[in-house]
Amino acid sequence: MIVREYEKDEITVQKVPLMLMGGIVVITLALTASVQLGFFERSSIPAQARAESGIQPVAARTLRFFDEPDGTVRAEDGATAEVLSRFSPGEGGFIRASVRSLVHRRRIRGEGPGVPFELTEWENGALTLSDPVTGSSVEVSSFGPDNRRVFADMLPQKDAR
């Protein structure tokens, strides 16, 4: 009888790694259940946490965003119509996504672009882009320093604050 080489190979799974993986699954399920049952707080709502901590805004600006025919997104001051930034196609992906999510929520409610968005910098360094029409907001600082910087550059300069 001829035994082929591939028939000699046997795939085995070691018990210790398998038990460790099972342990991770069990721990994950236990932690999820403990949050669902109220043993741990679910999550922090940034606006509520700021209010409880007494964190105040240090800078704010109203913003309007426009899609230009060439695909550029233009950001303007909501009060003065001063152009603050332009993002060509392929640039400003985070701004495009953030603003489009807020605009989408307005469209669902049948609201238009009449009211500008609000960008607020807080004492703790956080930045929030909020929509006063829908009450929705994006915690910009949660998406890293590069994305935060793009929005922070649209705030009034420090010497003007």
Q: What is the pLDDT of residues 101-141, one digit of tens each?
A: 888 998 888 887 788 999 999 988 889 999 888 888 888 88
In terms of domains, do 52 and 11 share one? no
* Residue 63 CB-density burial (10 A; 0-12 exposed, 13-18 middle, 19+ buried): buried
Q: Provide the token pair at 25.
A: 């699954």
Cα 7 versus chain centre, distance: 52
Task: Return the beta strands (E) in the chain as ranges.
Answer: 57-67, 73-77, 83-87, 117-122, 127-130, 137-139
Res. 42: pLDDT tops 90 = no
Residue showing tokens 């960008």: 119
In terms of domains, do 149 and 71 share one? yes
- pTM for this entry: 0.66
Bridge partners of 83, per DSSP, are 76
Q: Provide the token pair at 23.
A: 């342990």
In terms of domains, do 22 and 53 share one? no
User: How many domains, the chain?
Assistant: 2
pLDDT at 110: 83
> What is the percent of the chain with per-residue pLDDT over 90, rounded to a whole number?
17
Res. 7: pLDDT tops 70 = no
Report the alpha-carbon distance of residue 28 to residue 6 in Å, rounded.
38
pLDDT at 2: 62
The whole domain housing 19 covers 5-36
In terms of domains, do 31 and 65 share one? no
Residue 137 maps to a domain: yes
Residue 42 maps to a domain: no
Residue 58 maps to a domain: yes
Residue 27 maps to a domain: yes
Q: How confident is the model at residue 161 (pLDDT cuts 50, 70, 90)?
A: very low
The answer to whether 151 and 69 are in contact (CB under 8 A) is no
In terms of domains, do 29 and 57 share one? no
> What is the percent of the chain with per-residue pLDDT over 70, rounded to a whole number?
91
